Amino acid sequence: MKKILKLVMPLGPMFSRTLTASVIVAVAHSANAAPDTCKMSEPPPTAGEEAHMGELLLVYPRAKDAGDRFSGCQSIWGRTKTGSQLIGRFEYSRGAFVAVHDGAKRTRCTYSNDELRAGSDPVCPGSLPSLIPTLPPGCFAKFQRRAAGANESSPECDTFE
């Protein structure tokens, strides 16, 4: 920051104050910027939980957090012994589903009246997918503790959102 101030001081105090304020705002904005949901390699701690055939899946972002006009990817990870593995991503643009990412491959999917158009790639879902509703993080661990006899109340885990 001192180097920046030395560079702009000859331009006048008003300019240097304006530039300094702009730099501070830019740094603060980049530190709080939302992650690129189509490039995440690991699920964040806020990923929602879903189960499929007895396996815990982590989903980010949660449908309730993404909103109706979401642009980005909803990613799904499965648990492994050493962490998690990306299963796939559904890509949305302003709330509309546009593509499925299967590993490194991105396949554009086209629909008409919520049905997959003829000639589309077989990896595309047969009907138009919506964001996957999930439970908050930690709910499945609470369910396991309850099944083992724990008297634990968890009303936040009653509804998939």
Q: Say how far residue 132 (Cα) sits from the centre of its chain.
A: 11
Per-residue pLDDT of the chain (161 residues; tens, 9 = 90+): 343 333 334 444 443 343 333 333 333 333 344 568 998 999 999 999 998 888 999 999 999 999 889 999 999 999 888 989 998 888 898 888 888 887 667 787 887 777 888 888 888 888 878 899 999 999 999 988 988 988 888 899 988 99
pLDDT for 14 equals 44
73 neighbors 90 (Cβ within 8 angstroms): yes
- Strand-pair category, 111-112 with 115-116: antiparallel
How wide is the angle at C-alpha 91 spanned by C-alphas 87 and 97, nearest 5°? 125
pLDDT at position 97 is: 85
Q: What is the value of pTM for the model shown?
A: 0.72
DSSP 127: B
